[in-house]
Amino acid sequence: MNSTAVIIAAGLGTRMKSRLPKAAHKIAGREMLRHLILAAEQVFERIVVVIGPEMDQLATLSRPHHVVIQHERLGTAHAAQQAAPFFGAGPTAIFYADNPLVSAQTMTTLLARLQSGDAQLVLMGTTPPDAGKYGRLIIEDGYVRKIVEFNDATADELQIGFCNAGGLIAAGRDIAAWLSLVGNNNAKGEYYLTDIVEIANRLGANVAALDIAFEECIGVNSRAELAQAEALFQRRARDAAMANGVTMQAPETVFLAADTELGENVTIAPHVVFGPHVRVEADAEIKSFSHLEGCVVRAGAIIGPFARLRPGADIGENAHIGNFVEVKAATLEAGVKANHLAYIGDGHVGAQTNIGAGTIFCNYDGRTKHQTKIGARAFIGSNSALVAPVTIGDEALVAAGSVVTENVPGGSVAIARGRQVNKEKKPPQP
């Protein structure tokens, strides 16, 4: 079929007031451009991203897909024309990176509507709660005759609730032909993609429009709109998680990343934040005020409350990570317990080992990170400092308050603290 998706991402995002290109701003920890690319990858055989000059970050985010540069910002039709060499003869869709929540399902629906054969151009339309300043779609006999911009609409046309949502699809050769006829006779002297609707009608093509859920069509041009898109994404992600067997006691307080993976019968308490790259397996429980990023929580484990799992944390089955415990780049095997006030960084902890309150893995010597290795069924007493690199064997015991700087053999007891001395109070001198 040789289908193509073109994503226009050349906007500077002036209203974002940011040094970042607009399409590089994130929703649920993922750049807006990446949201669209990942959806398009599920539907289209080829993806072409149109960026502006000196947008190296967007070029990187677009890999491994084709990137073309709009050196002069002369409007959306001009941007689309930069990708024309890649259109081919098959279906070609055009999307905007600042409409980042368009789903793969909607893209598939657009493609199917075009292939039904009665329309040569299919638009994404939407019926927003407040049509406001959206361009109105004027429908006659079931087809779109024109798009009327807000400033040009009559009073009657402003009563129309069906609006232009931006995306569209047609045969590549048709889009290329229509784009070549777009002029710039307007106040800004720009070439507008929406003009192809009038051109297509004039040349005898039928133009159809689908009514897409407004939540997928929201545009992001400011920080406030970015927050609105985040809220819409979160609501959709929470609903999907709960539909798949996740329990959320207060879902509106839980924040998910775009790639969060939650297994069946996972329970998430109020006020939990998931950063990117988190997988939680079945029957695990995440308690309140915990923050997880770049980690794996295996089946039946309990995390929190007030726990922090940083990148590289791998928490074993039925392990317990309690309040004010931080884990980073460390593997904790099945049944490990670290229930209070500990830092576990750059290490490996064997099955069924207990980490006492106040334990610190001293992993950094000021220049290099070092590993702490603890065997199975060991017991680390409270307020211990394990100075890496150090290895503590199976079933070893480290006495509370120890500063361990040498390896501890399996089955041994390590006491590394000053000997307690009690000095009796001297009686007062006469």
- Output the pLDDT for position 395: 98
327 pLDDT exceeds 70?
Answer: yes
**Given this model, what pLDDT does residue 342 score?**
98
- Least-confidence region, from 90-94, 159-163, 377-381: 159-163
Under 8 Å CB-to-CB from 262, ≥6 apart: which residues? 241, 244, 246, 268, 280
User: Between these two residues, 401 and 184, which has the higher pLDDT value?
Assistant: 401
- 172 and 44 in contact (C-beta within 8 Å)? no
Looking at residue 337, its pLDDT comes to: 98
Confidence of residue 426 (pLDDT cuts 50, 70, 90): confident
Tokens encoding 344: 């576990």
pLDDT of residue 201: 95
pLDDT tier at 110, thresholds 50, 70, 90: very high
Calculate what percentage of the chain has a pLDDT beyond 70. Answer: 100
Nearest to 339 by CA among 349, 354, 317: 354
340 is catalytic: yes
Active-site option among 66, 277, 340, 348: 340
Q: Is the pLDDT of residue 1 over 80?
A: no
User: Is the backbone peptide bond immediately before 430 cis, with ω within 30 degrees of 0?
Assistant: no
Query: Which of the 8 DSSP states describes residue 15?
Result: G
Residue 418 has pLDDT above 90, yes or no: no
How far is residue 40's CA from residue 397's CA, in Å, rounded to a whole number?
A: 55
The Cα 78–Cα 137 span in angstroms is: 22
Does pLDDT of 121 surpass 90? Answer: yes
pLDDT at 148: 87
CA–CA separation, 298 vs 336, rounded Å? 12
In tens, the pLDDT along 228-260 reads 999 999 999 999 999 999 999 999 999 999 999
**pLDDT of the residue at 425:** 83
Q: pLDDT category, 310, cuts 50, 70, 90?
A: very high
Q: Residue 56 — pLDDT band, cuts 50, 70, 90?
A: very high
Residue 299: DSSP 8-state: T
Antiparallel, parallel or unpaired: β 267-268 and 247-248: parallel
pLDDT of residue 200: 96
Determine contact, residues 268/287, Cβ cutoff 8 Å: no
Question: How does the average pLDDT of the chain come out, rounded?
Answer: 95
- The pTM score is 0.89
